Amino acid sequence: MTIPSAEGFLQASSCLPCTAEEERELVAALAKEAEENVKDGDLRYLVSQSWWLEWQQYVGLVRHEENDTEQLPQAMNRPGEIDNSKLVSAETIVGSEEPELQRTLREGQDYTLVPQEVWRRLYEWYKGGPAISRKVILDSHGAHKSYIVDVYPLCLKLIDGRDNSERNIRISRKAKIHELYSMVCSLMSVEQSEIVIWDYYQKSKSKKLSNLNETLDEASITMDQEILLEMKLDGCSTGSSTRSTNNELALIPLGPSTSSFSIAGGPTYSNGFSSGIGSSFSQDNSFSPLLRDSTDGYNSFSNGTKDDTHGLSGLHNLGNTCFMNSAIQSLVHTPPLVEYFLEDYSREINTENPLGLQGELAIAFGELLRKLWSSGRTSVAPRAFKSKLSRFAPQFSGYNQHDSQELLAFLLDGLHEDLNRVKKKPYIEAKDADGRPDDEFAEECWNYHKARNDSIIVDKFQGQYKSTLVCPVCNKISVTFDPFMYLSLPLPSKVTRMITVTVFSGVGDALPMPFTVTVQKNGNCRDLIKVLTDVCCLKSSETLLLAEVYDRRIYRYLTNPVEGLYTIKDEDILVAYRLPVGHEKLLRLEILHRRADRFAADPQFNINRKLIGCPLITCIPNDSTGKSDIYAAVSAVLVPFLRAKAHGPDVSAVKLNGNGPSLDGIVLTDNGTTSEEGLSTSSGDDNAVDDELLPFQLSLTDEKGIVRNPINTDSNHVLGLVMRVSMDWSDREREMYNMDYMDELPEVFKPGFFSKKTRQEAVNLFSCLDAFLKEEPLGPDDMWYCPGCKEHRQASKKLDLWRLPEILVVHLKRFSYSRYMKNKLDTFVNFPIHDLNMSKYVKQTPKGAQQPMYELYAVINHYGGLGGGHYSAYAKLVEEDNWYHFDDSHVSSVNEDEIRTSAAYVLFYRRVGGSNTVADDVPIDIEMVDSLETAP
């Protein structure tokens, strides 16, 4: 569809659009024009995602049924007022005309962004609110230019040093320091020449904000932190009641954190910027790796006594940063990394690598590691490190919860690029094995990889896969050897669940029957249909259409065979309809039921009438949509529900039943047409059936059963592949049919009083490895192009571990994601702490080398679910041989037998024994660590 310009729309009509189609096309035109002419300072408005989805369905932009890919949008009711109330909190910002956003919103799930003109039109049509606008910001670096929407600007606590009064201000994190000064001067009625503003994180003077061209993000100013306003007096700032020195880097310990926002946990929210327009963070190339970053923003506290224990410093939670803290603690307790960053690593900083951050990320990590390993410290605020990480991986900007393993992967990659010893990567053309031995080809692939990637990260963390693909047609074998940084292992589960499904006949030859079957808990809809097919004794010409019923209507069809069964809850109601094979090419007739009584003549009652019973489904030929055809099909599928006394007296019912469809006779030809052997509908002479003789009353309706349209005698036009009709149930119909069989259907699973609770089954790490390395076919969306067949094939794939790294990182895949929902597995994994023997799984072992044995030294834990969770870490101090729990700022000792829990998410192992070992590493140089305390 060609979208006309907004100007053309406005010229064509001076009145507001009054139809759904006109609304759709005008909004599309306005949105297109806004995106094509986007500029710095434009406004984008937040709209509740639930309301936006209702509007899209109303105007036909989205289909209500995701699985009806060929169905045109159905007519929906016009939505009510725009309701953004769930997007805002009760708190307000002083001087702001807009309400404060909830901190846990996700773009695409909680809200969508629309241009200003689109919001204006929507508000004119629907009213409501409140209006929530955010600015579009130009983010450019060199020739690169992109736009971002600052959904979550910084909320800062401005403290007036003259009287210690406080007020909150809101400003973009991409704003320059001079813009902050202008805002403060306007609010406080002071002149810029008279004031100085301090980074006052944790109410301690960290640094003076004097670089007016620096952005707040670059200055490491974080959400909800304090900034201090001081008046200049004789060239010096004064007015603060806190102690300070002339040295801006002197940190005065004043007490614990007073941050008002420190949420540990939560789902994966959108970051502070909208991803709708995209974000790109500029990089300052004028960076000297030999100079310490004076804007690191670190703030540490001492208990007043010297602590000779090293490596026990906690990390402040900057606001949903427990995911980052847990990953950092695991890495800074990795012995090879500790040794590396405690020494002079500046000679390996790669300032020329365009894939890195010119060494800034590596230096920020090194500085953070040194501070964490300095004695006498209880906690460190990793603000500067987070700022550098956000520049390398913008998705981690803002202060929302993310996946710790994803951050770990990006961090290791960023450190590698900043420390890559290869300054100019050579071009190397990939070669095939050409029948060469695996040893020779694997070594060649590894050397090619090392020629472009050579760093401490590669040395310690990277291993090598062997991947084998086999074509199912020509048996062509393709072998590749690829590097890996960590192993992502699935959690095999033998836990089963019972699912009850009520099976209906689509031909009217049997009453509905509930079946309770046992399936794998982590199975999919294909597994459920397969076991139902067996217990139902389905004919070869039949298949099952699985659906979920909610509020007496079809809520969704489960037609995706690979959709996980975890999307089905115990309290759901599942039904399955026996239909002919190839029913997708027929017209699906969906029958809803509504109560009819003495109020049936009341139009208002007809609108509000509730549905009853369970929908019935049958199929009719696409060209048989006349009134008698529809009545015949409905009569046929209702035959099993006829009461005994109703079989004789109603002649019209018998007549129509005899003309109903016989699904056994439907044969689908290759071109999709139907050959109706026994599928008879009413003849042309029967089309003029007298309404008074009809056995029941039918109307065309929508999916909610609200709309009531008369059924035409000749034919009824249908959009898509589904025709919905509603049947009115009066006393006459209830006397004729027994509706009890389609009422009060059983839930998927309802445990009885004496039923035993299913115990969570435990698995061990080796079964996870077996599941990861087993041969399996590629998915339909991941087809392999076979060089033999010259076509895409669903090949079988087999992974093998060829070369193991010194540091083995194991990621347990507890989180699963689908289009409709997310899920977390709390399965307990029994993993070894000592003597993890990998000899069974590794294919290549150098001659004379000992068995690949590993010992655990760190664990990242995730507690809670997706709706709100928390990360922490266990780490072992090698020189002490003791385990500790690192929970943000809090650090405590823990027994070794306590670290195996169902919360374990990422495991860190180090190889022991042999020539390339870390078990016999030289103990960390404590004198070197102690010397860091006096370092600048």
Active site residues: 322, 870
Separation between Cα atoms, residue 768 and residue 788, nearest integer Å: 33
Rg (CA), the chain: 34
Is 162 exposed, middle or buried (CB count within 10 Å of its CB: 0-12, 13-18, 19+)?
middle
The answer to whether 936 and 841 have CB atoms below 8 angstroms apart is: no
Name the nearest CA neighbour of 842 among 803, 789, 798.
Answer: 803
Residue 904: count of CB within 10 angstroms of its CB: 22
User: Residues 394, 400, 405, CA angle at the centre, nearest 5°?
Assistant: 70
Residue 303 three-state SS: coil
Token pair for 611 = 């549905």
Establish how many alpha carbons lie within 13 A of residue 75's alpha carbon, considering only the half-sphere containing its beta carbon: 13
SS (H, E, C) 552-609: CEEEEECCCCCCEHHHCCCCCEEEEEEEECCHHHCEEEEEEEEECCCCCCCHHHHHHC
The answer to whether 836 and 792 have CB atoms below 8 angstroms apart is: no
Q: Which whole-number Å values give the CA distances from 634 to 610, 611, 760, 885, in the listed order?
A: 20, 17, 46, 66
Separation between Cα atoms, residue 382 and residue 875, nearest integer Å: 19
The answer to whether 666 and 676 have CB atoms below 8 angstroms apart is: yes
H or E element in which residue 731 lies: helix 731-736
The answer to whether 183 and 171 have CB atoms below 8 angstroms apart is: yes
Beta bridge partners of 207: 199
Token pair for 50 = 């639930």
Beta bridge partners of 904: 861
Q: How far apart are the first and last CA of the chain?
A: 65
Q: Compute φ and ψ for 451, nearest 5 degrees.
A: -70, -20
Separation between Cα atoms, residue 372 and residue 44, nearest integer Å: 42
Residues 811, 812, 817, 822, Cα dihedral to 10°:
-120
Separation between Cα atoms, residue 893 and residue 312, nearest integer Å: 10
User: Residues 675, 680, 683, CA angle at the centre, nearest 5°?
Assistant: 120
CA 596 centroid distance within chain = 45
**Residue 306: which residues within 8 A CB-CB, separation 6 or more?**
375, 376
CA 720 centroid distance within chain = 31
Only one residue has tokens 């590493």, namely 921
Is 191 exposed, middle or buried (CB count within 10 Å of its CB: 0-12, 13-18, 19+)?
exposed
Residues 246, 248, 252, 256, Cα dihedral to 10°:
150
Query: Residue 189: left (phi > 0), alpha (psi -120 to 50), or beta?
Result: left
Residue 705 three-state SS: coil
The answer to whether 397 and 321 have CB atoms below 8 angstroms apart is: no
The answer to whether 899 and 299 have CB atoms below 8 angstroms apart is: no
Query: Residue 451: left (phi > 0), alpha (psi -120 to 50), or beta?
Result: alpha
Name the nearest CA neighbour of 542 among 502, 590, 506, 515.
Answer: 506
Separation between Cα atoms, residue 664 and residue 662, nearest integer Å: 5
